[in-house]
Copies of this chain bind each other. A is one copy, B any other.
Amino acid sequence: MDQIDAFWRAANYLSVGQIYLLDNPLLTEPLRPEHVKPRLLGHWGTTPGLNFCFAHLNRLIKEHDQDMIYVVGPGHGGPAAVALSWLEGSYSEKYPNVSRDAEGMRRLFRQFSFPGGIPSHVAPETPGSINEGGELGYSLAHAFGAAFDNPDLMVACVIGDGEAETGPLAASWHSNKLLNRRRDGVVLPILHLNGYKIANPTILARIPLEELIKLMEGYGYRPHLVGPDHLEMATTLDQAHSEIAAYKAGKADRLPMIILRTPKGWTGPREVDGLPVEGTWRSHQVPLTDVRNRPDRLAQLEEWMRSYRPEELFDADGRPVPEILRSVPVGPLRMSANPHANGGELLQPLRLPDFRSYAVEVKAPAVQSTEPTRALGGLLRDVIAANRSIFRLMGPDETASNRLSDVFSVTDRAWDAAIEPTDEHLAPGGQVMEVLSEHLCQGWLEGYLLTGRHGLFNCYEAFIHIVDSMFNQHAKWLESSRKIPWRLPVASLNYLLSSHVWRQDHNGFSHQDPGFLDVVVNKKAEVVRVYLPPDANTLLSVGDHCLRSRDYVNVIVAGKQPVLDLFTMDEAIAHCTRGLGILPWASTDAGTDPDVVLACAGDVPTLETLAAAALLREYLPQLRVRVVNVVDLMRLQPHSEHPHGMSDAEFDTLFTADRPVVFNFHGYPSLIHQLTYRRNGHPNLHVRGYKEEGTTTTPFDMVMLNDIDRFHLVMDVIDRVPGLGSTQAHLRQHMMDSRLRARAYTREHGEDLPEISGWTWPNAFSS
Contact = CB atoms under 8 A, between A and B. Distances in A.
Contacts of A172: 167
A314 interface: no
A115 B508 contact: no
A166 B443 CA distance: 13
Given A215-B218, A468-B468, A674-B670, A698 B39 contact: yes
Nearest to A417: B206
B692 A682 contact: no
Contact of A674 (B279, B285, B673): B673
A272 to B, nearest CB: 13
A472 interface: yes
A59 interface: no
Contact of A695 (B119, B165, B212, B437): B119
B217 A166 contact: no
Given A472-B513, A751-B38, A522 B668 contact: yes
Contacts of A522: 515, 518, 668, 670, 692
Interface string A688-707: 00001001111001000000
Nearest to A398: B198
Given A22-B750, A203-B177, A198 B397 contact: yes
A501 to B, nearest CB: 12
A184 B195 CA distance: 26
A440 B524 CA distance: 30
28 contacts: A38-B749, A39-B505, A41-B696, A114-B696, A114-B697, A115-B701, A115-B747, A119-B510, A119-B695, A121-B507, A123-B509, A135-B463, A162-B397, A165-B171, A165-B440, A166-B171, A166-B437, A167-B167, A198-B398, A198-B400, A200-B397, A200-B434, A214-B215, A465-B519, A466-B469, A480-B509, A522-B668, A524-B692
Q: Nearest 9 pairs between A and B by C-beta?
A: A134-B510, A215-B218, A167-B167, A170-B170, A465-B469, A214-B218, A206-B417, A167-B171, A165-B436
B163 A436 contact: yes
Contacts of A523: 692
Given A171-B166, A285-B506, A206 B177 contact: yes
Contacts of A696: 41, 113-114, 117-121
Contact of A435 (B203, B419, B506, B673): B203
Interface string A247-284: 00000000000000000000000000000100110000
A479 B511 CA distance: 14
A116 interface: yes
Contacts of A677: 673, 677, 682
Highest count of chain B CB atoms <10 Å: which of A162, A422, A462, A521: A422
Given A201-B426, A466-B469, 17 more contacts: A39-B698, A115-B698, A115-B746, A121-B696, A123-B509, A134-B509, A135-B462, A135-B463, A135-B511, A162-B436, A165-B440, A177-B207, A201-B415, A202-B436, A212-B218, A215-B215, A216-B218
Main secondary structure of the interface of A (DSSP, over half): loop
A220 interface: yes
Highest count of chain B CB atoms <10 Å: which of A173, A285, A436: A436
A117 to B, nearest CB: 8
A134 B509 CA distance: 8
Interface string A460-492: 001101101100110010011000000000000
A198 B401 contact: yes
A701 to B, nearest CB: 5
Contacts of A463: 135, 469
Nearest to A133: B510
Interface in A48-99: 76
A37 interface: yes
B115 A401 contact: no
A683 to B, nearest CB: 9
A557 interface: no
A132 interface: yes
A136 B463 CA distance: 10
B692 A165 contact: no
A219 B214 CA distance: 8
Contacts of A472: 462, 465, 513, 515
A420 interface: yes
A413 interface: yes
Given A166-B437, A750-B22, A418 B206 contact: yes
B201 A423 contact: yes
Interface in A429-464: 434-437, 439-440, 462-463
Interface in A363-395: none
Contact of A115 (B177, B203, B673, B750): B750
A224 interface: no
Interface in A186-215: 197-203, 206-207, 211-215
